[in-house]
A and B are shown apart, each in its own frame.
Chain A
């Protein structure tokens, strides 16, 4: 026993040494490729870019003004509205007298002056009785009119801020606080609040924060530390809150996260109080934290460019061949080549975390994202035929992963689905909110497993015949899948050990698709989240069915295409009939194996329930099989438990039979399987 352990340890040590040697060589080569001049040029450019971005951040996101002067508004120079129009970047003032509506102006401001007012050059604001905005009868005109209204609102706000009489200028002070209902999360799922739910004790909300004595004690236990701004002496405090020129930033929330000194716009999300004039109320949108979380993703895009080049470099001019013939295993080579880039990612992430004020959680959360970036790029570089193809693959990887990481994080404070993205953890971390271990695991594990599987997929084709040949991406993909399968021949016996092992491999391969299915489904949920439920649910059910059917059958198709599974195409017509039956048997066997593998893996993902994802209606549709089963008789429960198994086995068998007969048949069978699966999904949702 100890002997074996020792031998294993020695093997591991040798392996680690080899990996480190490759890593050293790779980093030497990587730095050799970039000479001093290019490095200096790059650094200079980066500094300029940093300056530009810095200026952009300093002037605020709106400082970029993509909408500058998009609407032309006719207004007289002496009208008091001219100032308001002038101050709004998206509006351009044109003289009202000469402009014609719809042609050279999109809207015209007409002021009605109070009769009897002094008739001099400029019109005083107090003399304006009414204002009418005539807009052209187009969508642009409507938008222009709305922009004029906003411009006037902003103008008034500026006027009032300069007003010495604070009480008259800002007559209302608002103290906003968030309170959890004791009745819980579920009942408020629709707007307008159903009247269901318990009428439980209302102790939580009424204990403090009554209007009279300000919010001082309310704030103390909500970590935002709003000490003043109550109403007793609110003479100046409340007004100043509205008077900061951020306009939309709740100035008081800086106690909770003072990031970069930017007034965190709703940065302290729930549980924090805000005080100020009504205009300074902001919905809990973690804007700054989100922006900073995005900074973590930026270096990844540069890193994968270099990494992809390095991998593809091995493949051009058979440069990687010497390494392949050494005693190093492909795994060791790839690990060694990846290590410098992974290390760079770790260092850069740590640096960014230190800069923006993130903690260890941020670094841990970004790690699987970096791994996924590298893994996807590795697969792309193994499949690509040329630099150009690699560029598009890299861009595709960047776009997909950035969306996947960033978009859910936008909804950080809104819905638990946001935890799908590890970046949500970063946002939480930057906001200083606690994250449970379960949440962290739910957020990072799928991506980490997915990255590992991607490396596994790419390693499958890290061999001579695939590395140095020019095959289309799809064929290499099928190769990479088929490598993981064991042969199943038409004639093999039913309980052959080899057959069982082969079927096990099929089941395992299908089970490995689960993280990707999970990611794809959640991406679908995130995308369709925006649509009205009547549209999103059916589309979601069909797309989920399609994703799952593809995941279950693509490996089988690869097996048949690469001849790992017996197919009778090439056999002569004499035994066509018998061979056909044999193929059918093989197709059914692998179909059943794949369906079972998927079912088992899917049950394992029941972990998602832990974070309450299934509380969400859409989540319930996505993970129909694990939700809301309590309160049913055991027999029905068992039937419900095994119904998905029957479904997966049946639909996969259909797809498998199609796959055994070529591409067209596979497409048709896949469509059939998807429809069947979708019908089942509809049944489950309407049942639940």
Chain B
């Protein structure tokens, strides 16, 4: 046990000396900050409800303009000004007095045709189009209601519009899983580097001369890599907590991510043993992690979804079972890889 701790300590000392762990945390912070910025940017661009006071002015004309005005009354952020004829509406648009033109006319088939003109390639085009869609959908609902008697299946009444933050779901379903799983990949990569570097520099031979078994070397290196992962994840969760995001089930989340780290580290040890050249090893490792994680995420109840449900406090018994299953798989994988490497040794 003692020699394993020594090896683990040596690994951590190396990380500290090179301050790489700071770089790692810096990278994670950058990813987190940027993805948040990105979402804020996208939301304010593409979800004008989040834009305070985004109000579009629609110049309307045509014989169905009254209904359109009524629909505008129900939509926040859009107001309709009726014009006598389409040309007047268009000239208002040209004068910048309106953001868009809607010419609504009733056709002989009983439908309403809305010819919409939106400005071309300006910053707010997207906002205008999104608001217009909202307005026209409301209009469609009203018209559909008026024709409900012709429908075989009547649509369900909609519940009232509520206030909600567009960032809420993002925080739990994207940001927290990303922050929780980044340390997992970093730990695996560290193990690959650590083993291939020792092989490359010839220090692994020195280590083999010392009274430690290969299994103990693997244990020591794995312990260091697995140990730092939950610490980083906890750091992120605490940071989120300090920012006012409640994260539920911190314990199970950490257990899940530690299990995944162990699994990824086991894969990393196996790859480093098979491909002692760093280039090949890192390439194989990236691909393997991509496959593992991509595959797991695509399945129902993948790790990312499990973390999201745990963090948002919507976990049920199956989520708990899933965590236990991951722990079991990880332990089995690690013990299996350790056994094979202990017998075969590194680097053929």
Contacts and interface: CB of A to CB of B under 8 A. Distances in A.
A278 B110 CA distance: 17
User: Among the interface residues A30, A156, A277, A310, which one has the most CB atoms of the partner chain B within 10 A?
Assistant: A156
A283 B130 contact: yes
Interface stretch (A172-180, A251-259, A547-555, A628-636): A172-180
Contacts of B111: 167, 170-173, 231, 234, 238
A529 interface: yes
B137 A148 contact: no
Nearest to A385: B18
Interface stretch (A137-145, A458-466, A509-517, A662-670): A137-145
B15 A388 contact: yes
B34 A527 contact: yes
Interface string B74-113: 0000000000001100110111111101011101011111
B6 interface: no
A193 B96 contact: yes
User: Among the interface residues B162, B284, B300, which one has the most CB atoms of the partner chain A within 10 A?
Assistant: B162
A201 B24 CA distance: 58
A192 B54 CA distance: 8
B56 A171 contact: no
A164 to B, nearest CB: 7
A386 B197 contact: yes
Contacts of B158: 131, 149, 152-153, 156
Contacts of A244: none
Interface in B15-57: 15, 18-20, 23-24, 26-27, 30-31, 34, 37-38, 40-42, 44-46, 51, 53-57
Contacts of A385: 18
21 contacts: A69-B309, A70-B308, A125-B154, A129-B157, A142-B162, A145-B164, A149-B158, A171-B146, A172-B139, A173-B114, A185-B122, A202-B90, A211-B105, A231-B113, A278-B114, A305-B279, A388-B18, A388-B194, A392-B23, A415-B123, A530-B40
B110 to A, nearest CB: 5
B136 interface: yes
A316 interface: yes
A309 interface: yes
Nearest to A309: B279
Nearest to B11: A388
Interface stretch (A9-17, A33-41, A493-501): A33-41
Contacts of B304: 66
B169 interface: yes
Interface stretch (B211-219, B250-258, B287-295): B287-295
A386 B19 CA distance: 12
A159 B155 contact: yes
Interface in B128-182: 129-130, 132-133, 136-137, 139-140, 143-144, 146-148, 150-165, 168-169, 172-174, 177
Contacts of B37: 527, 530
Nearest to A148: B159
Contact of A33 (B90, B277, B288): B277
A309 B121 CA distance: 45
Nearest to B119: A181
A305 B101 contact: no
Given A125-B153, A152-B159, A179 B96 contact: no
Contacts of A65: 300, 305
Interface stretch (A44-52, A355-363, A484-492, A598-606): A44-52
Interface in B61-76: 62
B312 interface: yes
A236 to B, nearest CB: 10
Contacts of B196: 387
A173 B127 contact: no
A139 B165 CA distance: 8
Interface in A217-268: 230-232, 234-235, 238
Given A34-B283, A206-B87, A270-B120, 7 more contacts: A34-B277, A64-B297, A126-B154, A131-B157, A160-B155, A234-B113, A235-B109
B136 A281 contact: yes
Contact of A187 (B18, B96, B150, B160): B96
Contacts of B30: 399-400, 403
B116 interface: yes
A620 interface: no
Contacts of A686: none
Given A160-B155, A305-B283, A188 B96 contact: yes
Contact of B117 (A90, A160, A177, A392): A177
Contacts of A64: 297-298
Contacts of A181: 93-94, 96, 119-120
A436 interface: no
B232 interface: no
Contacts of B249: none
Contact of A178 (B105, B125, B298): B125
A46 B119 contact: no
A572 interface: no
B322 to A, nearest CB: 12
Contact of A231 (B96, B107, B297): B107
Contacts of B62: 211
Given A67-B173, A415-B123, A386 B189 contact: no
A173 B136 CA distance: 9
A170 to B, nearest CB: 7
Contacts of B122: 185, 188
A309 B87 CA distance: 67
Contacts of B45: 411, 414
B347 interface: no
B288 A66 contact: no
User: Among the interface residues A46, A68, A211, A269, which one has the most CB atoms of the partner chain B within 10 A?
Assistant: A211
B136 A174 contact: yes
B107 A232 contact: yes
A159 B148 CA distance: 13
Nearest to A310: B279
A168 B150 contact: yes
A81 B40 CA distance: 32
Contacts of A283: 46, 125-126, 129-130, 133
Interface in A501-551: 527, 529-531
Interface in B186-238: 186, 189-190, 193-194, 196-197, 200-202
Contacts of A215: 115
B282 interface: yes
Contacts of A527: 34, 37
Nearest to A71: B314
A194 B96 contact: yes
B144 A169 contact: yes
Contacts of A194: 96
B332 interface: no
Nearest to B42: A410
A285 interface: yes
Given A171-B144, A270-B120, A414-B45, A66 B297 contact: yes
Q: Give 7 nearest A-B pairs by CB, closest first.
A: A530-B41, A278-B136, A231-B113, A387-B193, A171-B143, A168-B147, A211-B115
Contact of A90 (B157, B169, B186): B169
A389 interface: yes
B144 A160 contact: yes
A415 B122 CA distance: 7
A162 interface: yes
Contacts of B156: 80-81, 84, 125, 128, 131, 152, 155-156, 159
B313 interface: yes
B94 A305 contact: no
Contacts of A284: 125-126, 129
Contact of B20 (A125, A126, A210, A392): A392
A311 B278 CA distance: 12
Contacts of B197: 316, 386-388
Contacts of A172: 111-114, 136, 139-140, 143
A99 interface: no
Contacts of B288: 45
